[in-house]
Amino acid sequence: MNLFLQQLVIGLSIGSVYALLAVGYALITSIFNFTNFGYGAVMMCGAFAAYFAVVKLGFPTLIGLVFAIIFAVFISLITELVAYRPLRKRKSPRLYLMITAMGFNIFLLNLAVVLLGANVRYLPSTFSTDSIHMGSIVVSALDVYSLFASLISLAVLWVFLYLSKQGLAIRSAAHDTDTAGLMGINVNKVSLIVFAISGITAGIAGTFMGMKYTVYPNLGDIANKAFIASVIGGMGSLPGAVLGGFILGVIETMVSGYISSALRDLFSFGIMILVLIFLPNGIVGKKVQDKL
């Protein structure tokens, strides 16, 4: 029982990061109807920003997190302005946007390898070696802080989307971008806000994943799990993204603890395939038109 509870806490921690990343996917998908496969590279850039702030400049972990968020937002906005917006202005097919996103991801990954090398780097934190005792259960303090940081971020995002004028504009654009533009909503401004939010989530996730594992150019591959979480919960649905992230994190952790960590990815992709077969709209079950 203790092993189950310990794995559950760890799974919720990892799932919360997946949920945070999946929300970034869901926001862009809901408005522009394409999957931003360059998202993982943004996460990797945020992790490296945190590493250089903490290790090279000597800042504490919290300041490193701020550096990660700022740099990830910057890269995310550059991606939108340079790679995506010109294609959207030309009314290019969504497939072209997805191909561009994959190309941008490969470009940033290889640029990181050329400039920084392929070696892994240790991102220290003030609590990475601490443990928290909850009765007979012992969990890493990093997992607990990661869980709470992700939950707080998700709560702030919910408040922003549902209780602010900008959030209303985002939800309107998600329902129908063309109609929102006709009603006076600046879709380009909405896109900047959405890509800035995705940069924030990528920076937070990149920092915690960098502390939990290490920082290296392929760290952004973890974002693929967030894509799976989005599919499981329902593409373009924020509640679905959060639900899918937690489900995937718990399942992966349980598989690693009770079966084998080598089979973790097999179960993840297998669940995604089953969901696509039996629940094409995801667990939340929303249609494409009913996003966010």
Banded model confidence at residue 203, pLDDT cuts 50, 70, 90: very high
The CATH number assigned to the domain with range 2-278 reads 1.10.3470
Banded model confidence at residue 291, pLDDT cuts 50, 70, 90: low
**CA distance linking residue 107 with residue 109, whole number of Å:** 6
**CA distance linking residue 196 with residue 140, whole number of Å:** 30
pLDDT value of residue 3 = 74
**CA distance linking residue 19 with residue 65, whole number of Å:** 18
pLDDT tens readout for residues 274-287: 998 998 888 885 55
β-partners of residue 134 are 137
pLDDT at 59 over 50: yes
Q: What is the mean pLDDT of residues 154-159?
A: 92
pLDDT value of residue 173 = 86
Banded model confidence at residue 289, pLDDT cuts 50, 70, 90: very low
Work out the mean pLDDT of the chain and round it to a whole number: 87
Give yes or no for a contact between 191 and 85, defined as CB atoms under 8 angstroms apart.
yes
**CA distance linking residue 99 with residue 78, whole number of Å:** 17
Is pTM beyond 0.85? Reply is yes
pLDDT tens readout for residues 85-128: 999 888 888 889 989 999 999 999 999 999 999 899 998 876 65
pLDDT value of residue 274 = 92
